Structure 1
Amino acid sequence: MDEQIISDVEQWLDEVVIGLELCPFAAKPRREGRVRIAVSHARDEEALLNDLQAELERLSDTPAEQLETTLLAIPDMLEDFADYNDFLDAVDLWVEHFGWEGELQVASFHPQYQFADTDSDDPGNLTNRSPWPLLHIIREESLEKIIAHYPDVDAIPERNVKRMKALSAEERNRLFPYLFG
């Protein structure tokens, strides 16, 4: 089961995130093998927070030259986006409580991801739709270094929404088989 989950996330990362250049910063660490994909089989929030804590510690304790970022897949809970979104409040409190603020941050991806003030079928939501609920742990220092040298970083979200809206039905089916297949 874990192999399939990891394969799903790798395919999404390679074909959607990197392939469509949604995150212009992801290709290099992926190519260099510095992206960890972990699977949590937690079935309650406390266990998931413990798994998240372990991944936060692993990332913090490992040099960026060895491990740049972690994607924590959550196949056994938080299938409903509203529940997942509510859980993100606990994640933020956890990061703050354990002193990771300013060092690590957690980004969110989910199969039902929906931005505020959008319809559920808005193609722009595809920018954050992953095959499994994910917590993406990011090193803030690395992100700040990359952003400092990237022109017009604020335009990335709008550019990504346009890219998703421009996809044909065939491309959506191929790239998001867990949604349209």
Structure 2
Amino acid sequence: MSESAEHEVILANTRQWLERAVIGLNLCPFAKAVHVHGRIRYVVSKARHVDGLLEELDRELQALNEADPAVCETTLLIHPQLLQDFLDYNDFLEIAEGVVEELELDGEIQIASFHPQYQFEGTEPEDIENYSNRAPYPTLHLLRESSIERAVETFPDIAGIYERNVLTLRQLGHEGWKKLQVS
């Protein structure tokens, strides 16, 4: 498969996950509007090492910060070649947060994390609640703080999202998740 064809498959799989799981199950009540209005930037990393991914992260954080929110509200930096092990990915998140601070974007942009093996602290690897943050590929979701603030104004029960997601996923179960065909 050519690099271009592989890139398109990765994008298609990520969009399918977003549409069927994140939006379809309403795991994030804010994702639908941004998706429908085409304000999500999808970037497939070509990095083959962590330094390359850090350079791409730096570039994407700056690009998002400079972009008009009416055109680009959020970025999904998908990195299918790197950090396949969740513990390595989790360790990398601290470094990624450091890049946000280094660029003086803390308070402006934050990073949400998604991974095929995502596991919340205190859960077992296959506990269904972990699937709320499971994506087909390791992905860094770059979000504007201002978008989060607006979302909170329209959806004041932010704290209840996690609990609602756990209930939704427990009702769906592993078989229901498999039927979504998103991983």
Q: TM-score, normalised by structure 2?
A: 0.94
Q: TM-score, normalised by structure 1?
A: 0.95
- Pairing partner for 1:43 from 48, 56, 61: 48
- Number of residue pairs the alignment of both structures matches: 178
Give ranges in structure 2 of 5+ residues lacking alignment: 1-5
The reply to whether residue 74 of structure 1 matches residue 79 of structure 2 is yes
C-alpha displacement of 1:145: 1.4
C-alpha displacement of 1:172: 1.4
Give ranges in structure 1 of 5+ residues lacking alignment: none
What is the identity percentage for the equivalent residue pairs of Structure 1 and Structure 2? 44
* 1:137-163 alpha-carbon deviations (Å, 9 max, x no partner): 000011111102213111000110111
Contact persistence 2:77–2:141 (CA under 8 A):
yes
AA of the residue aligned to 2:74 = T
State the superposition RMSD in angstroms. Answer: 1.1
Distance 2:97 2:103 in 1: 10
Summarize the alignment of residues 149-164 of structure 1 with structure 2, pairs less than 5 Å apart: 149-164=154-169
Distance 1:25 1:12 in 2: 15
- Pairing partner for 1:116 from 95, 100, 121: 121
Report runs of 4+ in structure 1 exceeding 3 Å deviation: none
AA of the residue aligned to 1:117 = G
Contact persistence 2:13–2:182 (CA under 8 A):
no
Corresponding residue for 2:152? Answer: 147
* 1:80-134 alpha-carbon deviations (Å, 9 max, x no partner): 0000000001001111111010000110000000000100010000000000000
